[in-house]
Amino acid sequence: MKTILITGGTDGMGKALAITQLKNGHRVIIVGRSKDKGSQFINEAKQLNASNRAVFLEADLSLISENKRIIEFMKQEMKSLDTLILTAADQSYRPNKRETKEGFEFTFALYYLSRHVLSYGLKSLMEKSNGPIIINISAPGLKGEVKWDDIQMSQNFDSTKAQRHGSRLNDLLAVSFDNKNEAKHIKYILFNPWAVRTTGADASAKNKIQQRINAFIYKLIGKTPEEAILPVIDLLDAPPKETLSAYVQKKGVDLSMPTFDKNKAARLLNETNKLIQK
């Protein structure tokens, strides 16, 4: 039995992965903001006779303090961690910048900072596992430049651009983590599911007309969360040999792309640590 931690595990792909892994006999801890959705997960676990293997942790992962609380819980309650699946995100369109209580732009904090803090904070616990894997569900394989003079995308805010920028930061997070993965024991996988039919996908549109267009497009080409997780399940069952890899669905991504530059990854790590320590 493996121990699996899933952020954003109350919705979409995170929820589908959580239920699937419970059915496969593993211990699953999910993290989410909604008590109601967390209770639904626990009830579904009971129906599967898996309530003793299901845990819901309520947390706002846009806050560094909450991420650290989850890390401390895991270290106190679990002897090791086999799999960390990072899916927490908020795709909702926002016309204006939203700042967390800790002073960070919300999308930057939830989509990037949380994944940074959890990846590094749980590293020692994962090193105690026989075959640890981190899966960061974002959007590797796409072009884009990091805005070093506005890394949080706070100026001239656009929530869609902020989300895309967050994926570029996650690309560099994976590279820097692999560089710090001295024992080369943990495998870090970036995964782009492409189009997935979720409520978040509809909410990302600026207006009702665009929402309808998105709904039509996703109905044509989008996958259900249950379909979208199938390549992730394959990666968990048969992980790649490399300690760092990236995929768009089942297709591997060329890590020689500029978005995976090691020097930029080191720079981002340095700047992120400065932000966290302020």
* pLDDT tens digits, one per residue of 124-173: 999 999 999 999 999 998 999 999 999 999 998 998 899 999 999 999 99
Kindly list the distances between the CA atom of residue 176 and the CA atoms of 6, 54, 188, 263, in Å, as whole numbers in the listed order.
21, 32, 11, 9
Q: Is residue 214 part of a domain?
A: no
Q: What is the pLDDT of residue 208?
A: 55
Residue 96, pLDDT score: 87
Q: Is 250:231 a contact under the CB 8 Å cutoff?
A: yes
How far is Cα 263 from Cα 143, in angstroms, rounded to an integer? 17
For 155, the domain range is 3-196+225-277
pLDDT tens-digit readout, 161-182: 999 999 999 999 999 999 999 8
What confidence score (pLDDT) does residue 215 get?
Answer: 54
The CATH number covering residue 250 comes to 3.40.50.720
| Assigned domain for 203 exists | no
* Backbone φ, ψ for residue 231 (5° rounding): -65, -30
Domain-located, residue 212 = no
pLDDT at residue 207, as a whole number: 53
Examine residue 153 and state whether it is found in any structural domain, yes or no: yes
Q: How many independent structural domains does the chain possess?
A: 1
105 is a domain residue: yes
pLDDT attached to residue 268: 98
Residues of the chain with pLDDT under 70: 195, 197-222, 278
pLDDT of 246 reads 98
Distances (CA, A) of 225 to 19, 34, 51, 127, 228: 11, 19, 22, 30, 5
Integer Cα distance of 145 and 161 in angstroms: 11
pLDDT at 216: 46
